[in-house]
Structure 1
Amino acid sequence: MLTQMKKALAASAFTLALAASAFAQEKPKVAFVPQLIGIPYFNAMEAGGKKAGEDLGVEFIYTGPVDTNPVDQLQIVQNLIDQGVGAVSVSVLDASAIAPVVEAAKAKGVKLFTSDSDAPDSGRAVYVAQATDEGLGFAIVDEMVKRVGEDAKIGIVSGEATASNLNAWIGFMQKRVAEKYPKVTLLEPQFAGGTAQRAAQISTDLIAANPDLKGIIAVASTTCPGVAQAIETAGKIGSVVGAGYCSPNTARSYLKSGAFGFTVLWDPAQLGYLTVWAGKQLIDGKAFEASNTIKGFASPATYDATTGILLLGPPAIFTAENVDQFDF
């Protein structure tokens, strides 16, 4: 009897050891849900996230909507929460709708946070920001005014009307013009959704309706090709300066043709990496420091505890002269 009990206990201990081993080997899971899949910008974020997953021992999950549909995006986020993914990050399409999902995540012990586009009043755990909204808004206006002058008329073609990051950048563009360039006329933003075709039509209409138009700013990466193509088609290279928040690979041919004078952005691969790093910090229960040294980053990522923003760094300016130094 004693021998049988010993055998039973040994078997039980062995089973528990196996279970503990399997549990220990299971990698923490960090997911990122972009605004839409299949575009170069978010592809680069995905690549950075994968690299971080390899470096940090994290299982990286990348999934998102096929178009810029806030309802579809939130359903994908909810599915990840239901699966018990440790940390879920999202580039928010509709900031007004995400708060209940944040609460659902908290109830399941899932760390839900934002990256690339924020919902500051949602209760999210942290916002992994590419650059400050102010820095991005100010930079694109300053660079445009250098090229078109301080009394020019400038159009704005954005993406989804509900995208909080795009609207924040536009707000700071307007603020910069009001405070520093009072003679500049910044037209009311036009919204193209997620399609370059619609952006091209809006830009064509802007050029036709405003013979004195000197510049057009594409606020979403998806609108950059449409804006540039409209300038090229209208024969306005040299008289209308295009610009936008788009990757070097997206804008390269337009920068070289002269349809775009410059673009403003950051390295989305590093943003993807920082997103996964932040997710692991949240899963591990580690606090963010005011200055965080990240492997492979030229400068530390800074954290503002008041706003809950983890900042990648200042924006970068890409031109025909430097664009070939970058590949994303």
Structure 2
Amino acid sequence: MKTSRLPLRGRFAPVALGLTLALTLAACGGTTQDDADDEATAGGDEPAATADAGGEFETGLSIAMLPKSVNNPYFEASSTGAETAVGDLEGEYEYTGPSDTSASSQVSYINTLSQQAADVILLSANDPNALCSSLEQARAAGTSVVTFDSDVDPSCRDAFVSQVDGAEVGRTLIEMMSEQIGGEGQIAILSATANATNQNAWIAVIEDELANNPDYANMELVTTVYGDDEDEKSFQETQGLLQANPELKGIISPTTVGIAAAARYLQGSEYKGQIALTGLGTPNQMREFVKDETVTEFALWDPTALGELAAYAGAAVASGIITGAEGETFTAGELGEYTVGADGVIVLGPPTRFNAGNIDDFDF
């Protein structure tokens, strides 16, 4: 199995297990062991986690990022942000994961990181439930778990760093598509994996808008297909969509791999300029398609900032500054102060639209 695993250093080594357990809360990864000993217990066994908003970040934390898959420009950008944050925190950083997008592949990496006594796992999940057992074992061993980009069931992690408000993403996607096809016609969705929580949440908003917003009364979603965040499969799914739906006016691809593959297919086909394509992509991967008018406009947040915020959130949990409870606050370096929302959700910010007028202002 190919990975981008870096050499293990310092506290990632198994011999560090005792020290890591002494610094993290066994059940929740939310405070120090000394603090936990002083707290009232829940049910007589589990120490109640408490936050120390005025506390300082621990140095030397081992923080690992586990994306949906490696060799993905979006996650590589997130890793750059996370690595910068971990460096500022004087910690140890690792970027590792499977080359495919199956939940079972992620499980083995979670187990390995837990065995290596990682203080924090930053996870973009391929399935909301299939990873929970491994995550619970990791947390019980003293590892704090912060999801980013794509969440798991809230009971399986300490906090979730969301790119933006999910409903806002869905509304932005359908609004851009409506503008590009004149508010009428058949559209399709090219998604990542069928179980990706973030993709499915955005698609649900798109479907709701189509069903209930009169602005989209003349638009019809004919199908949703899945490219599994694989370039070639996404390319082939795009071809299949156009062959099977001759009246199709546009494609929404809420995944960076999918939108780039779809754009590449359109660029070399008779459909260029005839089929609207929008979704979520990075400026660097989409620039040529905007410049040659294959794509008019797409959107995204800054994945580098997302990774940076995830790393600070993970370090805040491992340091006892937050536990993931609503209303807690922490400072994420130069990104500023963030407040934990309901269900442990921390929101980065609104999406940015990219088009010919502004795409050269961005480099990620």
TM-score range, shorter chain: 0.7 to 0.9
8 Å contact kept, 1:58–1:280: no
Q: Which residue of 1 aligns with 2:301?
A: 266
The whole-number CA distance in structure 2 between the counterparts of 1:135 and 1:31 is 29
Report the 3-state secondary structure (helix = DSSP H, G, I; strand = E; otherwise coil) of the residue aligned with 2:333: coil
Q: Is 1:307 paired with 2:340?
A: no
Unaligned 5+ runs, structure 2: 1-18, 24-57
Q: 230-239 or 77-86, which moves further after superposition?
A: 230-239
Structure 2 letter corresponding to 1:232: Q
Q: Which residue of 2 aligns with 1:117?
A: 150
Q: Which residue of 1 aligns with 2:352?
A: 316
8 Å contact kept, 1:204–1:234: no
Q: Of the candidates 11, 19, 27, which is equivalent to residue 60 of structure 2? A: 27
The whole-number CA distance in structure 2 between the counterparts of 1:173 and 1:267 is 22
Give the drift of 1:311: 0.7
Unaligned 5+ runs, structure 1: 1-19
8 Å contact kept, 2:154–2:344: no
- Runs in 1 of length 4+ with deviation above 6 angstroms? 23-26
Structure 2 letter corresponding to 1:48: G
The whole-number CA distance in structure 1 between the counterparts of 2:157 and 2:267 is 42
Q: Which residue of 2 aligns with 1:17?
A: none
Structure 1 letter corresponding to 2:199: L
Q: What is the CA deviation profile of residues 232-285 of structure 1, one whole-angstrom value per residue up to 9, with x for unaligned ones?
A: 233223221111211111111111121212121100111111111011101111
8 Å contact kept, 2:59–2:89: no
The whole-number CA distance in structure 2 between the counterparts of 1:148 and 1:291 is 43
Q: What is the CA deviation profile of residues 85-140 of structure 1, one whole-angstrom value per residue up to 9, with x for unaligned ones?
A: 11112100011211112220222121112111001344310001111211111111
8 Å contact kept, 2:189–2:223: yes
Q: 1:184 to 1:285 in 2, by over 3 A?
A: same
Answer with 1 or 2: which has the greater Rg: 1
Q: Which residue of 2 aligns with 1:294?
A: 332
**Across the two proteins, how many residue pairs are aligned to each other?**
305
Scaled by the length of structure 2, the TM-score of the pair is: 0.79
Scaled by the length of structure 1, the TM-score of the pair is: 0.87
The whole-number CA distance in structure 1 between the counterparts of 2:337 and 2:210 is 31
Q: 99-108 or 263-272, which moves further after superposition?
A: 99-108
8 Å contact kept, 1:89–1:275: yes
Q: Which residue of 2 aligns with 1:132?
A: 165
The percent identity for this pair of structures is 30
The whole-number CA distance in structure 2 between the counterparts of 1:184 and 1:134 is 19
The whole-number CA distance in structure 2 between the counterparts of 1:302 and 1:107 is 25
Q: Which has the higher contact order (CA 8 A, sep 6+)?
A: 2
